[in-house]
A = this chain, B = another copy of it.
Amino acid sequence: MRRVAVAGASGYAGGELLRLLLGHPEVEIGALTGASNAGQRLGTLQPHLLPLAERVLEETTIEVLSGHDVVFLALPHGQSGAIAEALPEGTVVIDCGADFRLVDAGEWERFYGSPHAGTWPYGLPELPGNRERLMGATKIAVPGCYPTVSSLTLAPAVAAGLVDNDVVVVAASGTSGAGKAAKAHLLGSETAGNVSAYGVGGVHRHTPEITQNLSALTEGTVTVSFTPLLVPMPRGILATCTAKLRPGVTAEQVREVYEKAYATEQFVHLLPEGTWPQTKAVTGSNAVHLQVTVDEAAGRLVAVGAVDNLTKGTAGAAVQCMNLALGLDEAQGLSTIGLAP
């Protein structure tokens, strides 16, 4: 049994981590920490986690987090680096925040407005080269939710050169992606019956992360037009991705490329032709559902992917990374079964 701690256990990412870790056969849940919520019962903060109801959140300190095999960080941006450095050597630190995702310090500073903390192995094992870097790693940066689904939805086409490198992503997300901090525009009275766009025009912080992922797959420069939408549901992201097809590319080729790309990936599921992803089918699941087609009149590939932003989009990916880091079965404690309806 590996002893794991979760820093930031009162938020949505922390709650989902605990939900998954409770079902993980190789894990024992150690310290749970919070910031303003330290001292409160978890039963009050996360009433769905009944087996942990009587656990009390501690302060997020090195002392509390030390003595664990794995420490998950689900903290606001900017806090992970110092904690990771101070923890005992050999501790596996898995950061659900953005601090260590970007390679390019300039991009980091442009989008986050603070000095670049560095770059850790990127926790999306389904992209070429990543899995190897994650096996045995002790520092891991869990990808953003939008980059996870957008990158996986487009990667095969970009890597195979089926499309030009000017891609458009419009991704509709449930509200939990915006976190649990109380904000008036996220009240249920506001989000119900409402769809809105935000971070439009390339200013959303996940833009450089998608660009980085896709650029690693091709020689040319990839440009990404990324528009996130807020839709009235708690969980899930549906990403609609399109790019111009290179001349002569056929629908059969496209399908073949996608089939081959994910043939051995247990969490990426290309749906049968004619069936399109829906977020509900992946609620609470670590699976990504994909479909792709060719719009001949527009000369475009259109690919659509669905994930649960909290599971494969955050906490599920974190557990998958932990499994790789510890040399466990990559799918341990994870499921491809959603909760519906």
Contacts and interface: CB of A to CB of B under 8 A. Distances in A.
A105 interface: no
A1 to B, nearest CB: 18
A224 interface: yes
The SS class assigned to the A binding surface is: mixed
Nearest to A280: B194
Contact of A48 (B166, B172, B231, B280): B280
Interface in A248-263: none
A272 interface: yes
B43 A272 contact: yes
A180 interface: yes
Given A168-B242, A202-B296, A227-B240, A337 B194 contact: no
A49 B180 CA distance: 29
Q: In this complex, which of A15, A234, A275 has the most chain B Cβ atoms within 10 angstroms of its Cβ?
A: A234
Contact of A244 (B166, B236, B271): B166
A192 interface: yes
Contact of A289 (B47, B51, B238, B294): B47
B189 A225 contact: no
| A186, A194, A198, A200 pick with most chain B CB within 10 angstroms | A194
Nearest to A54: B272
Contacts of A240: 170, 197, 200, 227, 229
A337 B280 CA distance: 19
Contact of A339 (B19, B43, B192, B229): B19
A163 interface: no
Contacts of A27: none
Interface in A60-116: none
B236 A193 contact: yes
Interface of A: 12, 15, 19, 22-23, 41, 43-44, 46-51, 53, 166, 168, 170, 172, 174-176, 178, 180-184, 186-198, 200-202, 207, 223-225, 227, 229, 231-236, 238, 240, 242, 244, 269, 271-272, 275-285, 287, 289, 291, 293-300, 302, 304, 306, 335-341
Given A182-B182, A188-B188, 7 more contacts: A47-B275, A48-B280, A183-B187, A191-B192, A196-B278, A202-B298, A235-B341
